[in-house]
Structure 1
């Protein structure tokens, strides 16, 4: 199964939400669609970002990429309920490298 990453900048926390709720919301949204392999939070140039690695059922490339994009947008939508977000990236694992896909 092809492996993908959704990388989402977190620019603020909405009132009344604990910081851990950001990753919980992202993981729940993604797990409802695909198998989540891993998740992490990093600070890149002073901006928090979450990364979720997930698998997409093997089909043809265009269907897999479309499914990965839909999943990443679902993650962003779920996280927007608890936090404000910035840039969203989707990457695909190809020959040992993570290749960015356009949204």
Structure 2
């Protein structure tokens, strides 16, 4: 099964939302569609970003990429309920490297 990453910048929390809710919302949204293998929170150049690695059912490359994009956008929408966000990136693992697939 192909492996993808959704990487989303977090620029702030919505009022009344605890920080841990951001990653929970992201994981819940992705897990409703795919197997989530790992989650993490990093701070890159002073900006928090969450990364979720997930598997997509095997199909054609285009269909796999479309499913990953659609799921990453659903994750983004779920996170927007609890936080303000910045850039969303989707990457696919190819021969040990993470390659952007675009949104």
TM-score bracket for the superposition, by shorter chain length = over 0.9
Q: Secondary structure at the match of 1:86?
A: strand
For residue 8 of structure 1, what is the aligned residue in structure 2? 8
For 1:9-28, list aligned pairs within 5 A.
9-28=9-28
> How many pairs are equivalent?
103
* Structure 2 gap segments, 5+ residues each: none
Q: TM-score, normalised by structure 2?
A: 0.99
* Structure 1 gap segments, 5+ residues each: none
Q: TM-score, normalised by structure 1?
A: 0.99
For residue 48 of structure 1, what is the aligned residue in structure 2? 48
Q: After the TM superposition, which segments of 4 or more aligned residues of structure 1 sit over 4 Å from their partners?
A: none
